[in-house]
């Protein structure tokens, strides 16, 4: 279900009305200016979802970077009380708009919220310091997290394609999902990651049967 809010009215009653008798499991709020709304209003929006069938929410390009780090953490953690397990927060400029500490706290909030599939594409994560990005990925590589979408994050700022592929495989393994990008850098990263993951899988199989 795609919802475009009327911005001169409260979003809360609009969402409640749209969800009345809804049976869809996907809620698409992408493009709405959520980051410009009061924190309490956003928390109220999430509370509405507690008793509904929504399991996936799209918050892409909603200006979440405009909220303070502490507010964004609180907002994400509120999803813990909902049935939602898939979240898309792509296109929110987090990598260049949040401090290193805030990014780590946001990563922890995503895990604590109970999301199993997280879309962090187009957040300029390649511009984050390497050691900080390593810490972020270690947090996200939680047993409960199954997929982490990382397309279009300018990872070429980290280093060459082989380095990026090794970096992602070492920290996230098969959880790292890269689908977009037909340029040579992206293709090299994806090809090398596939080879590394296949080799790792074969090595584990050999160990099992020894």
H or E stretch at 171 = helix 161-172
CB neighbours of residue 40 within 10 Å = 9
Which residue did the predictor score with more confidence, 10 or 182? 10
Whole-prediction pTM value? 0.94
Distance in angstroms (rounded) separating the CA atoms of residues 161 and 166: 9
**Which segments of 20-155 does DSSP mark as H helices, in order?**
39-48, 69-77, 94-97, 100-112, 130-140
Tell me the pLDDT of the chain averaged across its residues: 95
What is each CA distance from 90 to 34, 36, 113, 196, in whole angstroms?
Answer: 14, 17, 17, 26
Question: Would you list the domain boundaries of the chain?
Answer: 11-209
For the cut 80, the answer to whether the pLDDT of residue 206 exceeds it is no
Band of the pLDDT at 166, cuts 50, 70, 90?
Answer: very high
**Cα–Cα distance, 181 to 193 (Å, whole number):** 14
Per-residue pLDDT of 74-116, as tens digits, reads: 999 999 999 999 999 999 999 999 999 999 999 999 999 999 9
Indicate the class that CATH gives domain 11-209: alpha beta
């Amino acid at each position: 279900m795609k919802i475009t809010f009327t911005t001169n009215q409260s979003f809360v009653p609009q969402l409640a009305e749209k969800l009345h008798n809804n049976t869809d499991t996907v809620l698409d709020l992408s493009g709405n200016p959520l980051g410009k709304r009061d924190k309490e209003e956003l928390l109220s929006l999430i509370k509405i979802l507690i008793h509904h069938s929504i399991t996936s929410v799209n918050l892409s390009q909603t200006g979440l970077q405009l909220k303070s780090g502490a507010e964004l953490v609180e907002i994400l953690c509120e999803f813990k009380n909902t049935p939602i397990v898939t979240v898309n927060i792509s296109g929110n400029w987090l990598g260049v708009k949040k401090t290193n500490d805030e990014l780590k706290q946001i990563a922890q909030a995503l895990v604590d919220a109970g999301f199993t599939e997280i879309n962090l594409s187009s957040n300029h994560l390649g511009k984050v310091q390497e050691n900080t990005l390593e810490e972020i990925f270690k947090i996200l590589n939680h047993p409960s997290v199954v997929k982490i979408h990382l397309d279009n994050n300018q990872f070429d700022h980290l280093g060459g394609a082989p380095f990026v592929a090794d970096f992602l495989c070492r920290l996230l393994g098969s959880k790292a999902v890269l689908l977009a990008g037909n340029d040579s850098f992206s293709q090299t990263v994806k090809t090398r990651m596939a080879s590394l993951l296949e080799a790792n899988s074969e090595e584990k199989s050999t160990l099992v049967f020894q």
